[in-house]
Amino acid sequence: MPKAIDRVDPELFKWTTGKQAEKLQAIIDHGSLAAAAKALGVDSSRVSKVLSRVKHKAATSGYSPEHDMTRTVPEGYVVRGVSTYYNEDGKPQGQWVKSTLDQQQRDQLMREAFEAMAEDLPKVKPSSAPKVAVSDLCNLYVMTDCHVGMLAWHKESGEDWDLKIAERVLVGCFEQMVLSSPKASVGVVAQLGDWLHSDGILPVTPTSHNILDQDGRFSKIVQASVRILRHLVDFALKRHDKVVVLMAEGNHDISSSIWLRTMFKALYEKEPRVDVIDSEMPYYVYQHGKTMIAFHHGHLKKNDHLPLLFAAQFAKVWGDTEKRYCHSGHRHHVEEKEHSGMTVVQHPTLAARDAYASRGGWIAERQVSAITYHKRYGQVAKITITPDMLENT
């Protein structure tokens, strides 16, 4: 009879991958871990680790008979706690199982739901490209930390900010950037994260759950967000042969960046002049000839760490380029510095300060910039727009 360590409960196969199932079946067929390892031509420790991992995965779903756990939770959940009570003979009499959502599984389910919803969206029809555009040029329009849905009161922060103001300022400043920039062949609409102030129904930050000042219902915020972003992309299409769209992850809109990316990829799938950057990782890159343009919101890596990360993660693009730039936000103020072969540009925000920023004493100039890149020479032009300039247009 196999030792306890060599026994495999057939129920465990529910929590295995194909290769894990192969190793568990080998234990059953050959009667022990050692024999299974010999038959598979691997070290016995590898087989032992697979068995342990599968048992752990089963336990997170509520299945571990050796610990009297036999009540599993639904897919998408993990066990948060188990309480078993026993009769006078020491036999299990009942059990309470507390569960919570599995974050990774929840994110995957959300992606699948967003993709399903996006299939029914009306598609943008192809449109004619502008007649005049310089093929060597690329205009980058960075919109970061816009915090659509945030509510600011001028008596606390010096200036007001709500959904109506956000739409007027964001659309107005973007149009001025486009109209003031050279007629480049490529336009990059770089929504660099924290586009939304909150990430769901509750007005709290996704990870720390700090309470936020929110302007109204989340459904209204979503509608305004999509309306503004569609206007930005459509306006850029009137000026450029090709429009590259980035919907980056920020620390305020981790989940919302997923549905924004999925939605806009579906909306413009029939428009060959629009390319939506589709990356699950919060590090993004666009190559324009010998110029590398990289992006990261700034919430996960400091500016001086970004060049090495992009050189390692996008080695081919790094090797194929001579001019390299990385754009970040997150900190709401301007900073530009060369780090190890790459210029890192930290962009400010157009949004007004909220109460939290005002009480913390954080002050920064509200502005947005359009940067023009040449395929060979890198940055060749830059224009800056501020909300005050809209009053004179």
Q: What is the largest CA-CA distance in the chain?
A: 88
pLDDT band at 111 (very low <50, low <70, confident <90, very high): low
Query: Is 260 in the same domain as 167?
Result: yes
Q: What is the CATH number of the domain that holds 304?
A: 3.60.21.10
- Kindly indicate the confidence band of residue 131, based on its pLDDT and cuts at 50, 70 and 90: confident
Q: What is the torsional sign of CA 374, 298, 282, 230? A: negative
Residue 7 belongs to domain spanning? 1-60
Closest CA to 315 of 337, 294, 288: 294
In a domain, 79, yes or no: no
User: How many domains is the chain built from?
Assistant: 2
The answer, as to whether pTM is greater than 0.85, is: no
Handedness of CA 231, 235, 238, 242 (dihedral sign): negative
Q: Are 244 and 384 in the same domain? A: yes
pLDDT tens per residue across span 56-96: 888 877 788 777 777 666 655 665 666 766 677 777 766 66
Which range of 17-26, 51-60, 66-75, 298-307 scores highest in mean pLDDT? It is 298-307
Residue 240 falls inside a structural domain: yes
Query: Same domain, yes or no, for 148 and 256?
Result: yes
Q: What is the DSSP code (8-state) at residue 303?
A: G
Burial of 341 (0-12, 13-18, 19+ CB in 10 A): middle
Tell me the HSE value of 307 on the side-chain side, using a 13 A CA sphere.
13
Element (DSSP H or E) covering residue 336: strand 335-339
Span 270-283, pLDDT tens digits: 999 999 999 999 99
Cβ contacts of residue 16 below 8 Å, gap of 6+?
Answer: 24, 54
**For 349-392, what is each residue's pLDDT tens digit?**
999 998 888 888 888 899 999 999 999 999 999 999 999 999 76
Instruction: Write down which residue in 16, 34, 60 finishes a domain.
Output: 60
Sign of the CA dihedral with 25 first, then 30, 34, and 36 last: negative
Domain assignment present for residue 82? The answer is no
The tens digit of pLDDT for each residue in 154-202 reads 999 899 999 999 999 999 999 999 999 999 999 999 999 999 999 988 8
